[in-house]
Amino acid sequence: EGVGPQEYTLIKMKVAKNKVPEKLKNVKTEIFMVAATLRPETMYGQTNCWVHPDIKYIAFETTRNGEVWICTRRAARNMAYQGFTEKTGDVKVIAELTGQELIGLALSAPLTPHKVIYTLPMLTIKEDKGTGVVTCVPSDSPDDYAALTDLQKKQPFREKYGITDEMVLPYSPISIIEVPGLGNLSAVTVCEQLKIQSQNDRDKLAEAKELVYLKGFYDGILLVGEFAGKKVQDVKKDLKKKLVDQNEADTYYE
Ligand code: A2H
């Protein structure tokens, strides 16, 4: 891709205490799914967390208050060279879990109005990018909107992955950013314009992303939160810093 390393914001999504997977039941500290994003200012619109059902994830010990984090082994290895583990280059693995084993986990995530959001399957997640965990913002990401709509429209798809209706049906796109010409649910607008049918419409989704991303970042105006009324590009740094200071996010490079 680019010349230098890509900087991602890691969004920490806390696993609900009473819903910890069996393999992690002896963990005494907090457990987080960590999602890599380029758009921390969109976290007001999170509706769920994505994993790929067939990708293998690990839970490992971090130096962040001894918290246990869940992501791909590849990302954890990278983190082990970025000060996230006690010994540089060494990952203390607590458990291996498939994406399927993580589906249905109840999480609490920063800035979203939802008290609880769920981990759901997304089939286009790449194993070799970010953490393999993606936060879903269907208002501003065509990929996210298409994948969430697939689950909402297709009961057999939910059933296949053991997802209940209440994990999916109450969560619709949230208006968080106004994009001139595309309205306040830009991803929805463009997916409808292009008649995108599912997360597998790769060509149309690529087109949708071109229409939405640059405009969203350069012309978008936040509609919610303490930076409401300001341009996304002017507040992105401050907003990220706030999340990091509150221990709700971190910085990860690859
Ligand atoms: B972004 P880049 Cl609202 N597989 O976060 C597929 N997609 C992944 C991924 C993986 N392993 N890891 C991260 N991503 C997604 C929010 C968002 C994102 C919005 C709008 C645009 C956007 C909510 N999802 O990304 O290839 C994550 O989705 C625009 C590209 O490294 C992450 O940021 O450029 C982005 O792709 C990183 O993609």
Domains and CATH numbers, the chain: 7-173+233-253 (3.90.740.10)
Per-residue burial over 156-191, b = 16 or more CB atoms within 10 Å of its CB, e = otherwise? ebbeeeebeeebbeebebbbbbbbeebebbbbbbbb
pLDDT per position as a tens digit, 99-135:
999 999 999 999 999 999 999 999 999 999 999 999 9
Classify residue 198 as exposed, middle or buried by CB count within 10 Å of its CB (0-12, 13-18, 19+): middle
> What is the Å distance from ligand 1's center to 36 Cα?
7
Q: Do 135 and 49 form a contact (C-beta atoms < 8 A)?
A: yes
Q: How many residues does the chain have?
A: 254
Residue 242 has a pLDDT of: 97
Is the ipTM higher than 0.85? The answer is yes
The owner of tokens 């409401």 is 228
Closest residue by CA, ligand 1 atom 33: 37
Residue 19 has a pLDDT of: 84
Residue 18 has a pLDDT of: 84
Structure-block tokens of residue 30? 């907090």
Residue 227 has a pLDDT of: 97
Residues in the chain predicted with pLDDT less than 70, given as ranges, are: 1-2
Residue 132, ligand 1, Cβ within 6 A: yes
pTM: 0.97
Closest residue by CA, ligand 1 atom 26: 129
